Structure 1
Amino acid sequence: MSLPEDSQRASVIASCANPLPGNVVSQYGKRIIKISDHQVVKCGPDVTREEFENQRIAHELVDSRIVSIPRVYDFFLDEQGWGYIVMELMKGKVIDPLNDVSAIQRVASVLGACRGLLFPETEDLVFDSLGRMEEWFNSRLFAHNPNLDLQSCDLVLCHLDIAPRNIIWQEDGSLCLIDWASAGFYPRLFEFCMQWILDGKDGTFNSLVLESVDPLSDHEMAQKEAMLCAWGNIQKYPFRNKISSSPERLSGHSIDLPPLPAHPMPDYPLEWYEKAGCERSIPPSSTGVKSSKLGCRR
């Protein structure tokens, strides 16, 4: 398919603005609208060119005998800044929740094929080297957290949102992986971290995927503690922007400045420790004795 002309794009926008009920194919969040027997459009204020490029590259690199990825045809913005990705229609069904062990083991094989929500939602967070990525995560760690060392980790294509809702099971039994908004070339550890963080959200899916996939190296596993602590800090604390003195939710310019607030941090909610495998500190007493430092336990 050649890129649509402006008039065709206007027709796409109109089709998405007032779709027929039978043409709304998405069950989750962002709108996915069927515009022909062979094409759908994903549209919304947070649909970006980066997602379009991620999916285009994944379609070219990933072995289609293992997992299918919809071909993308076009990306454009409307006057309100909404993004539109025109892509191939993949016929099949979403199975959510997914509890079948053999099916989940097949999903785990996709993690190998993809080799190559850890970040806040921001448009300018772009890393030009592994060192800058490592530096950014370490800037989200406090003095009592372990440092992250990514220098021995290979960069591979990661999806970072593998979940039942993002898998289409086609009629011939093959898998199709959709929603490449979070994808990129990252250490393979990142894909594991997303499954650890989301463990239990999709029933037994996350734990069974982790049991079925090829294990991480010893060095990669040694970084789990730092990654999960950084993720916990990102969820709870604002960080100072390099350009502005006001706290912001993690701009890509904030690498070199320390986070707020100053040490020691308030105690984490209990559920964070259960999720990240961290050991909870002793809460401050009424006598003013400071709590012990947080320590993550692998």
Structure 2
Amino acid sequence: MVGSEVEQVQSNNGNSIPSRRPADRMSARPQASTDLQHKNKDSRNVRLQRIWRFLKGRSKEEKANMQGSCHGESSRRPTIISRCKNGEGTWIHRNPYGPQVILLSGIVVKFGVGVTKHEAETQAYYNRHTDRSRLIVPQVFDYFTDPTRDSSVEYGFLVMEYIHGAVIKDLPLAERVQIAPRIATAMKYLQTIKPPLPARPGPIIEGGVPCGYFWSDSGPYRTFDSVKDLNTWLDGRIGNPRPEVSPELQLHEFGSRHMDIHPRNILRTSSGQICFVDWQFAGNYPRVFEVLHIKCCEADDPDFFNALLKALPEFEEELHTRKYQCLAQIMSNNILYGVVPSDLSPP
């Protein structure tokens, strides 16, 4: 998991929206590599066995389907709730007004208002469908809500795998810039993962409502059944819906996107693998939406985001399109407070 957590969407931060050798040595190298792979695999198995004991009590069928499951052993939940509330672990991120993250006995728990079942199921889906050698998504072990709280407000507990690694935001500037192309590669790989319903924009989980920087605190508070449905909503947000100013999004533009790429939400493991965390905003979106997010956050770490955009030339091309300008105007209309990035103002 992460050493830092994303703020609530309302924060809307940012001021702009990879000799020859003797025969005996040659033959020895593959064996050494194999031994290292077994060692790494054994190390991960030990961690998972520890977590297994922590969440013991599952049926054989549940254990067989543990990968990506959002339903753990309910008898352990009161203990997890108590330990989270009392801080009986190692804090990764504290936030009295939003989600908090704590390390408990080899697992990570993200909990608080705004931690939803949709987020847990989204993360579980991408964990099941990604190749860990190309992108790590922490495995989800359980999700539940606090039964002692008002049921009208979802106060969730997302129990997941702990990923050992360095948070990108904590690395020296030179390393952050150097790793940007590898993060871009991971983003491109994620785009190849088909969502369950490719024709439906937004969150990949049934009933999921879009959230994130683009939508701000004014909505949409609804789901979208098709790209046409989304385009109609966008036209209504422009304020002056004319064909020449409509974004006219097309289905082929959509794909799986994290939608909160930020140095605080990315880890680099000791073996150099990339891990994305905080899947609250993720879903089936067009590339231009992720470009808008990057522009919103670039003031937080200009050098990193500039390096990231250079590694994604197709993203840079989006900045000069009418579609980008149109969506930037819609985003400005969505924002009820805070500073609108200067380059997101209408031309």
Pairs within 5 Å for 1:154-165: 154-165=253-264
Counterpart residue type for residue 190 of structure 2: C
Aligned-partner Cα distance in 2 for 1:218–1:24: 41
Distance 1:97 1:228, change over 3 A: farther
User: Cα distance, 1:219 vs. partner?
Assistant: 8.3
Aligned-partner Cα distance in 2 for 1:198–1:32: 22
Question: Could you tell me whether the CA contact under 8 Å between 1:97 and 1:202 is conserved in 2?
Answer: no
Quote the residue 1:102 is aligned against: 178
Of residues 179-188 and 124-133 in structure 1, the stretch that sits farther from structure 2 once superposed is 124-133
User: Cα distance, 1:137 vs. partner?
Assistant: 1.9
Paired residue secondary structure (2:246): coil
Quote the residue 1:34 is aligned against: 103
User: Cα distance, 1:133 vs. partner?
Assistant: 1.6
Of residues 134-143 and 43-52 in structure 1, the stretch that sits farther from structure 2 once superposed is 134-143
Distance 1:273 1:27, change over 3 A: closer
Quote the residue 2:267 is aligned against: 168
Q: Cα deviations across residues 204-260 of structure 1 (Å, max 9, x unaligned)? A: 2222211111415978944111111110110038xxxxxxxxxxxxxxxxxxxxxxx
Distance 1:218 1:210, change over 3 A: closer
Question: Could you tell me whether the CA contact under 8 Å between 2:288 and 2:318 is conserved in 1?
Answer: no
Where in structure 1 do 4 or more consecutive aligned residues deviate above 6 Å?
217-220
Quote the residue 2:216 is aligned against: 120
Paired residue secondary structure (2:111): strand
Matching of residue 19 in structure 1 with residue 119 in structure 2? no
* Structure 1 portions without partners, runs of 5+: 238-268, 279-294
Quote the residue 1:187 is aligned against: 286
Highest RCO, 1 vs 2 (Cα 8 Å, sep ≥ 6) = 2
Distance 1:234 1:215, change over 3 A: same
Pairs within 5 Å for 1:246-285: 272=340, 274-276=342-344, 278=345
Matching of residue 5 in structure 1 with residue 102 in structure 2? no
Aligned Cα root-mean-square deviation (Å):
2.7
Q: Cα deviations across residues 63-91 of structure 1 (Å, max 9, x unaligned)? A: 32222110112111112141011111111
Distance 1:235 1:97, change over 3 A: farther
User: Cα distance, 1:16 vs. partner?
Assistant: 0.6
User: Cα distance, 1:96 vs. partner?
Assistant: 1.5
Paired residue secondary structure (1:176): strand
Alignment identity in percent?
27
Paired residue secondary structure (2:127): helix
Quote the residue 2:229 is aligned against: 132
Distance 1:218 1:40, change over 3 A: closer
Distance 1:46 1:135, change over 3 A: same
Question: Could you tell me whether the CA contact under 8 Å between 1:23 and 1:34 is conserved in 2?
Answer: yes
When the two structures are superposed, what TM-score results if normalisation uses the length of structure 2?
Answer: 0.64
Matching of residue 207 in structure 1 with residue 306 in structure 2? yes
Question: Could you tell me whether the CA contact under 8 Å between 2:165 and 2:268 is conserved in 1?
Answer: yes
Counterpart residue type for residue 184 of structure 1: G
Distance 1:123 1:7, change over 3 A: farther
Aligned-partner Cα distance in 2 for 1:95–1:219: 25
Of residues 98-107 and 68-77 in structure 1, the stretch that sits farther from structure 2 once superposed is 98-107
2:133 corresponds, among 58, 65, 89, to: 65
Distance 1:273 1:55, change over 3 A: closer
Counterpart residue type for residue 91 of structure 1: H
User: Cα distance, 1:112 vs. partner?
Assistant: 0.2
User: Cα distance, 1:197 vs. partner?
Assistant: 2.3
Aligned-partner Cα distance in 2 for 1:34–1:217: 38
* Structure 2 portions without partners, runs of 5+: 1-51, 53-62, 64-70, 194-212
Distance 1:186 1:209, change over 3 A: same
Quote the residue 1:143 is aligned against: 240
Question: Could you tell me whether the CA contact under 8 Å between 1:111 and 1:213 is conserved in 2?
Answer: no
